Chains A and B, each alone.
Chain A
Amino acid sequence: KAGVTQTPRYLIKTRGQQVTLSCSPISGHRSVSWYQQTPGQGLQFLFEYFSETQRNKGNFPGRFSGRQFSNSRSEMNVSTLELGDSALYLCASSLDRGSAEQYFGPGTRLTVT
C-alpha cells in the first residue's frame, strides 16, 4: 500500500499570498488530520476531517481552512500568509475515527518571505 503523500513538498510564498496544500491518505483511510510543525511550537493540531466534514479544529486563526473530498483526499488553505506561517505542514491519515494509528505524510515545507 502506498503511504500518505503530500504535494507540493516545498513551497516559497510571499506575505499576503495564499497557499493550498494537498494530502492523499493511505488507500482506505477516511480520516485526515493536519498539523503544523515549527521548531518553537512543536507539532500543533490544525484540524481533522472525516467524511468530508471538519470534525475537530485546533487553535488557529480563520486564515487556516481545509476541506476533504469524497475520495478522502484533503486540502488545506492558508490565506493572507504571514512570516510566522513558515513551517512544515504534516498531514496524517487513519483508517477511521476512533481508529488508533495515524500515519504521517512527508510534509510540505512552506517558507513565507
Chain B
Amino acid sequence: GENVEQHPSTLSVQEGDSAVIKCTYSDSASNYFPWYKQELGKRPQLIIDIRSNVGEKKDQRIAVTLNKTAKHFSLHITETQPEDSAVYFCAASYNNNDMRFGAGTRLTVKP
C-alpha cells in the first residue's frame, strides 16, 4: 500500500518568511495529492491539492509542486502570517481512494 513520509515534523518561521513542507510517497499509481490544515481542536481542512497531470499549482500565498519521477511533492507558503500556524498534513491516493496521510508538520509563525 501507499506510504507517505512528511518532513519536517516541526517548523518555526518568522512572520513574513516562507515555509516549505516536503512529502514523499511510495506508490507510483497515486495521482491525487491534497494538503490539509488542521488548527488546534478543529477538523482538517483542504487548503490545496494537485493531480498527477500537473507539476505546480498556486493559490494566493500557497503553492504545491509535484515531481512524479522522484515521487515527492511540496507545500510552499509565502509571506507567512500568525494565522498560518497549524498542523499541516500531506496525503496521497489513487483517485481519492484509500488516502494515506503524512505524519504532519506543526508550523509556528512567530509575530
Contact = CB atoms under 8 A, between A and B. Distances in A.
Contacts, number: 56
Contacts of B96: 31, 94, 97-100, 102
Interface residues of B, number: 23
Contacts of A55: 97
Interface stretch (A13-21, A41-49, A61-69, A70-78): A41-49
Given A90-B43, A94-B96, A100-B96, A42 B102 contact: yes
A86 B96 CA distance: 27
What's the dominant secondary structure at chain A's contact region? strand
Given A98-B97, A101-B46, 10 more contacts: A35-B101, A42-B101, A44-B101, A45-B100, A56-B98, A58-B98, A98-B95, A98-B96, A102-B46, A105-B43
Interface of B: 1, 32, 34, 36, 42-46, 49, 51, 89, 91, 95-104
26 contacts: A35-B101, A42-B89, A42-B102, A42-B103, A42-B104, A43-B44, A43-B91, A43-B101, A44-B101, A45-B98, A55-B97, A56-B98, A58-B98, A59-B1, A97-B97, A98-B97, A99-B96, A100-B32, A100-B34, A101-B34, A101-B46, A101-B49, A102-B34, A104-B36, A104-B43, A106-B42
